[in-house]
Amino acid sequence: MTDVAFIATKLGSAEPEVRRLAARSLAQLDAEAGAPLLAQALGDSDWRVRKEAVTSAQTMRPRAAVLVVLEVLLDKKDNIGLRNAAVLALRALGTDATQAAGRAFDTLDADGRKLAVEVLVGASDEGAVAVLARALSDPDENVRIAGVEALAAVKGRTATARDLLSTLLANELSTELRLACLRSLDALSAVLPMPLLEQTLEEPLLRAAAVRLLRHVPEKRAALFSAMALKDPQRTVVREALRTLCHRIQIAGVEELEIVERTLAPQADVLALLRQLLLSSDDTEVRSGAILALSLARAPEDASLFVDALADDQIAEAAERSLRFYGQNDGSGLLTATKTAGPVARGAAISMVPLVSRDGDAVLLLREALLAAEPDVVVAALRGLSELGQAQDLEQVRVLSSSQNPSVCVAASHTIAALAELYPEAAAAAWARASSREDVDLAGCVLAACAPAVASGHQIADAESRIGYLVRAAGHPEPRVRTAAIEGLGGFTGNADARDAVTFAVADEEPSAALAAVRSLAALGETETLTQVLGRSKDASLLGAAFDALRHVSEGQAEIARRLLSERLKKETDDTMRAAISFTLARAESDA
Amino acid sequence: MSRFSPFREELELKPEEHELFCELFRGIAGLSLGPQSRFSMERRLRDRLVALNLKSFSEYYQVLRFHPHARAEMEEAIDAMTTHETYFFREDYQLRAFQEELLPLLAKEKKTTRRLSFWSAGCSTGEEAYTIAALVLASGLVDDWDVRVYGSDISKKCVSFARRGIYGKSSFRSSIPVAYTSYFDRRADGDVEVGKSIRALCHFGQMNLTDADKTSVVGQVDAIFCRNVLIYLTDDARKRVISTLYEQLRPGGVLMLGHSESLLNVTTAFELYHLKEDLVYKRPPGTP
């Protein structure tokens, strides 16, 4: 029995799985001999057999024979499954199917033409776009709509597709077709002229789709129309307007925000609807748009809504932005709201305080929050105080720097450092007091902020004490403190303790501290150690830093360093280090 | 994939993958890992695969070899593969010998410079380094001397932990000997914090003992504690480490190994030095 006869027998089986396997075997047949069987399989009553035949059609050769049979099948009006399978098979053949689809479009009835258009969904060639353009002026509306939808999926020729659809939108009378145009234009991220959009916004059935397209329009007037759409009686339009506002507000300038603000402010019923959508919608974009719009309306009673929304992961980002908008006008309202919020929201809200209010009330609120039981709240307050705090806060923050909660402890250390930068004199005095009572936490953090100044300053009278203190601080658990102490030790040339501590710090697990050690070694004139680092280190950044440090010591050291690295390059087997050495040498050459 | 993904258990380390990892860890850290280590390796590295959302150990091997962040990930892998178990006042007979016999000897030798330095090589989470500092302070032999205790470990996490100096119950197999309680502070949560006096003597750094690139920063020290480290290393790595320790020990300085470790078949460069309760190795005085 020939293959064709064997497969034909199997395709006639009553068992769908046997037929499916037979359809798979079609791929091995010559297309001319197997064409009738391909047609039979594509028209099978079982969808799995049809799907298998679609796949086989892609492999059968010669392809011209496959195209002929598929083109004929588009006209088989009695079997819908067969026609759909033929469309899928043709679409899978890509640009090879364009001519067949074009011929079918020119010769078949309306249903056949619609199928020919569907073959071209996702096409990318010029011929396909030309067929779709013809479809836009087809006498049958279904064919025209199919053409509009197919153009939305065109690949690579989107500009042509946008032009065709914009022209059709401007000239077409059918509402259904214009709606399809708007949706396809949105899929193509088309930027439509405002007059054309305004015209479509007039029509209730088109309004939601038109509002959606407003998100792509750069003119500020688009914001006005988006805000006005929030007053529309249709919920669909309101939801789309919120999604559009959500998009626009991400990039909006002040002027545009003011437009939205002016449009929304007096509309109590609109604001009520927005609150309802914020709390009940399933759509994150709608909720985000609602909270942003509410923040621009600036109703005092909404402050707690914004604060509470910070605890909602889905809209937390929009809530944060809302708080910034809202807080610009009503910082005190926001501050009040932070006091009554839940723990998560309260922490998040307090972290926003410096962004919306910097007055005395804000500082008082932050100080009060330092006493909270929830670590999130305390950490947020500490961060706030690092910006708004005053010299007097150093002491209270110091207490928290020995907290058993690691987050609080680290945040307190950072805040002390930040306050030390803001109030260097108060910090220096605190440092002197802390040093005398061996308070490494406070002194170390202050040191991190102003190490060079303190180390070379006059807070501790004798150099030995200063070195002793810095050596101890070089072992502090907080990397910034160690880094600062190591930098400070670089100022004590000729001192063995300073040299030993700095040398050992090259092994610090924190890159910043190890790099500081390399810099300090250069400052101390420890060129031998630097040369060792250069010759042995397997850390690319340390190697680069040691090289730079030696170059700055003297021209002679620079030459030694270059020679050493060149020699190491010849022997180095590690690819990463070879690359680092080559780069370092090339950089030096380029500098020279 | 979440940490608690049901798929975690499906990650299996195949024998051929295990060999690749053994070779890799041998080259990087000198770890001696035999065929019996396959299941423990699978268990120890599995979390890394989950954290990186990898589907097989082969993928993880590729990450360790070729990923731009391979170096950082290698630290995580080595951290997972190395044993961090230690505790305060471990192997007390040796510590007693150090305090009662070696320390007086070293103090006598260094009475002119009044400067002593010790190195806890492979210090894990720092208990040994702090123990040495406590022993030195409590001896009363070197009051007002310049004393340094360097602690180093290959694991970044261990070094960070050591710097914090706060320990739970598992770091103290028995209660702190009365003579040393003043060097530790009991915290409200039950943990113990290393006191300021011994903390001030200790300095920690991250080092791979098989690499001579960083060990030189320790400088020459008077005594080295390298206990229960060599047992995890290959013969070749052990020789390299001992050579490094020899270089970093001043002539006349002593090396203390774990009770099950020795330098037999490793080197003859050291002299055996007999103490009442222990044997230690000494770099011969006058050696260059």
Residue in A404, A475, A536 closest to B163 by CB:
A475
Residue in B148, B205, B213 closest to A538 by CB:
B213
| pLDDT above 80: residue A294 | yes
Task: With cut-offs at 50, 70 and 90, classify the pLDDT of residue A455.
Answer: very low
Determine the average pLDDT of the residues in A72-90.
Answer: 91
| pLDDT above 70: residue A431 | no
Interface test with B, best of A441, A509, A529 (most B CBs within 10 A): A509
Bigger pLDDT: A171 or A394?
A: A171
Model pLDDT, residue A33: 92
Dihedral angle at the C-alpha atoms of A409, A415, A421, A422, nearest 10 degrees?
-150
| pLDDT above 60: residue A460 | no
Q: Which helix or strand (DSSP H or E) is residue B32 part of?
A: none
Nearest-Cα distance to chain B for A506, in Å, is 7
Task: With cut-offs at 50, 70 and 90, classify the pLDDT of residue B5.
Answer: very low
Q: Could you give the count of Cα atoms lying within 13 Å of B65 in the half-sphere of its Cβ?
A: 11
Task: With cut-offs at 50, 70 and 90, classify the pLDDT of residue A575.
Answer: confident
Determine the average pLDDT of the residues in A457-464.
Answer: 53
pLDDT in tens, B95-127: 999 999 999 999 999 999 899 999 999 999 999
SS3 B168: coil
ipTM of model: 0.74
- Indicate the range of A68-77, A87-96, A464-473 predicted with least confidence: A464-473
Residue A303 CA to residue B188 CA, distance in Å, equals 40
Residue A435 CA to residue B231 CA, distance in Å, equals 43
Q: Where are the domains of chain B?
A: 8-81, 92-282
| Single-letter code of the amino acid located at A111 | D
Dihedral angle at the C-alpha atoms of A27, A33, A39, A40, nearest 10 degrees?
-90
Interface test with B, best of A403, A436, A464, A500 (most B CBs within 10 A): A500
Interface test with A, best of B28, B157, B217 (most A CBs within 10 A): B217
Task: With cut-offs at 50, 70 and 90, classify the pLDDT of residue A407.
Answer: confident
Task: With cut-offs at 50, 70 and 90, classify the pLDDT of residue A16.
Answer: very high
Model pLDDT, residue B263: 86
SS3 B226: strand
Residue A450 CA to residue B218 CA, distance in Å, equals 28
- Indicate the range of A186-190, A191-195, A343-347, B195-199 predicted with least confidence: A343-347
Mean pLDDT of chain A: 86
Nearest 5°: the CA angle A11, A17, A18 is 40
Residue B46 CA to residue A350 CA, distance in Å, equals 39
| pLDDT above 80: residue A105 | yes
Task: With cut-offs at 50, 70 and 90, classify the pLDDT of residue A2.
Answer: low
| pLDDT above 90: residue A361 | no
| pLDDT above 90: residue B216 | no
Model pLDDT, residue A438: 53
Interchain CB contact of A511 with B (< 8 Å): no
| pLDDT above 70: residue A443 | no
Residue in B152, B200, B216 closest to A532 by CB:
B216
| pLDDT above 70: residue A566 | yes
Model pLDDT, residue B178: 83
Residue B53 CA to residue A241 CA, distance in Å, equals 39
- Indicate the range of A124-133, A447-456, A498-507 predicted with least confidence: A447-456
Determine the average pLDDT of the residues in B11-17.
Answer: 87
Bigger pLDDT: A429 or A386?
A: A386
Given strand B166-167, what is the order of strands in its sheet?
B166-167, B192-194, B184-186
Interchain CB contact of B116 with A (< 8 Å): no
Interchain CB contact of A470 with B (< 8 Å): no
Please give the CATH topology (third level) of the domain spanning B92-282.
Answer: Rossmann fold (3.40.50)
Model pLDDT, residue B8: 44
Q: Which of residues 512-541 of A touch B (CB under 8 A)?
A: 529, 532-533, 536-539
Bigger pLDDT: A479 or B125?
A: B125
Determine the average pLDDT of the residues in A366-377.
Answer: 87
Check if the beta carbon of residue A248 is closer than 8 Å to that of residue A215: yes
Mean pLDDT of chain B: 87
Determine the average pLDDT of the residues in A196-205.
Answer: 94
Bigger pLDDT: B52 or A148?
A: A148
**% of chain B surpassing 90 pLDDT:** 39
| Single-letter code of the amino acid located at A484 | A
Residue in A404, A503, A509 closest to B156 by CB:
A509
Bigger pLDDT: A24 or B3?
A: A24
Interchain CB contact of B146 with A (< 8 Å): yes
| pLDDT above 80: residue B238 | yes
Nearest-Cα distance to chain A for B129, in Å, is 13
Model pLDDT, residue B3: 35
Determine the average pLDDT of the residues in A496-515.
Answer: 89
Model pLDDT, residue A69: 94
| pLDDT above 60: residue A441 | no
Bigger pLDDT: A492 or A265?
A: A492
Nearest-Cα distance to chain A for B83, in Å, is 19
A255 CB-contact burial (10 Å; exposed 0-12 / middle 13-18 / buried 19+) = exposed
Interchain CB contact of B71 with A (< 8 Å): yes
Nearest-Cα distance to chain A for B164, in Å, is 5
Model pLDDT, residue B177: 85
A477–B214 CB contact, under 8 Å: no
Interchain CB contact of B211 with A (< 8 Å): yes
| pLDDT above 90: residue A457 | no
Bigger pLDDT: A190 or B277?
A: A190
Task: With cut-offs at 50, 70 and 90, classify the pLDDT of residue B217.
Answer: confident
Residue in A504, A509, A537 closest to B213 by CB:
A537
Determine the average pLDDT of the residues in A283-296.
Answer: 90
Model pLDDT, residue B128: 95
Interchain CB contact of B69 with A (< 8 Å): no
Residue in A404, A497, A507 closest to B205 by CB:
A507
A-chain residues near B217 (CB < 8 A): 503-507, 529
B219–A503 CB contact, under 8 Å: yes
| pLDDT above 90: residue A496 | no
Model pLDDT, residue A462: 59
Task: With cut-offs at 50, 70 and 90, classify the pLDDT of residue A210.
Answer: very high
**CATH code for residues B8-81:** 1.10.155.10
Nearest to A316 by CA among A344, A337, A343: A344
| pLDDT above 50: residue A452 | no
Interchain CB contact of B160 with A (< 8 Å): yes
Question: Phi and psi (nearest 5°) for A490?
Answer: -65, -15
pLDDT in tens, B21-75: 999 999 888 898 888 888 888 888 988 888 888 889 999 999 998 887 888 889 8
Nearest to B232 by CA among B92, B20, B37: B37
Model pLDDT, residue A196: 94
Model pLDDT, residue A326: 80
pLDDT in tens, A409-425: 778 877 887 887 788 77
